[in-house]
Structure 1
Amino acid sequence: MTIDAADLKRMFDAIAGAIEADKGRLCQLDGVIGDADHGIAMALGFGAVHDALASLDLATTEPTALLNTAAKSFLNAVGASSGPLYATAFMRAASAVKGKATLADADFNALFQALAQGIKDRGKAELGEKTMIDAWQPAAEAAAAANAAGKTLSESLEAALAAAERGAEATKDMIAQKGRSSRLGERSLGHIDPGAASAVTVIAAMKKSLA
């Protein structure tokens, strides 16, 4: 399976739609341990990406240029914490597929690894700190393992989604170490991290649009 700029645009459109539909739930989750705006911020960011990509000439746009456009528009729309995280993710992904007009399964896997690593590096978060990394890192590891085992992209993304879901669920049993929710200490127990929850929504939309 090869993926071109038009496929990536469809993927981002699918993410924007999925996040918009999930906005209320994400804000609710964030209301418990944050400032109740995570869903709004994510919807603003992916909505801006959707609008920015709509004006590109996809026939002449390489994946790298599309991903850099996504990074810039997300960051301009969202100054809050998720803005720099996802902008860094998209810029890293852009670098990972530089010079390629179309992406094979292995290239998309490299893009996916770069997304997760970008979020991790920018957020300086580790597993177990109750952040979106608790969903993104296991997802990237599962995708890499599936890809290495010769699985298709669709199967790799399925493995990634299952790992992200388990990771997000596991944040219930963690005490927040980062960001605003870290001030709650033990009161953050029992609640899913909103960033991990939105990561699952993003990965599910990616899988659905590319499968």
Structure 2
Amino acid sequence: MNRKIGTADSPVAGLLLAAGGGRRLGGRAKALLPAGPGGRPLVERAAGALRAAGCAPVHVVLGAAEEAVRAGARLPGCVPVSNPGWESGMGSSLRAGLASLEPTPAAAAVVLLVDQPGIGPAAVARLAAAHRERGAELAAATYDGVRGHPVLLGRRRWPEVAARAAGDRGARDVLADAARRGALTLVECGDVAAPDDVDTPADLPLLDAPRPGWH
């Protein structure tokens, strides 16, 4: 299959990692945390950010409380992906997600974590644009110069990323190696997003905080 890499019409997929069990939240699956007006599941907000940024297709990797997420979350236009090995860490979810995208025409994927409610479509769109407009094969959002999520992975790098993803280390090692070689595109997003994670009960107020970058 021929794909145009790094052009305006390059299809950029969205890959949402939403399998975590929320161990430090007392075992509350992060995907189901109530967020924003109406208290809808957090997974809906994150998947909506990918869709609103123009990512297609959008695949959502599920693990903890998967049946409840499938039954209770509204994920129109998204493809749920099962990760039975989710307890081994984020690396297994990244591998499952990239494998699920292999049959699609996506030339790259923006990877978003479900537990960062302050990241909206504006940040995702900037990562996708780094590929479409600048030909980036590996890119990462930065916040006042500090590297974080989301990240963009060009299709040609998926095998390497999958091979090195283990435990809670997803694409970190591949991105770090690229940064040392000057081959990682950094995309400042601090003006449109906030990278804070919802990891502990003290972080729960982030679920109802204003959402930057949703315009």
Same fold (TM over 0.5): no
More helix by share: 1
More strand by share: 2
- TM-score where L is the length of structure 1: 0.30
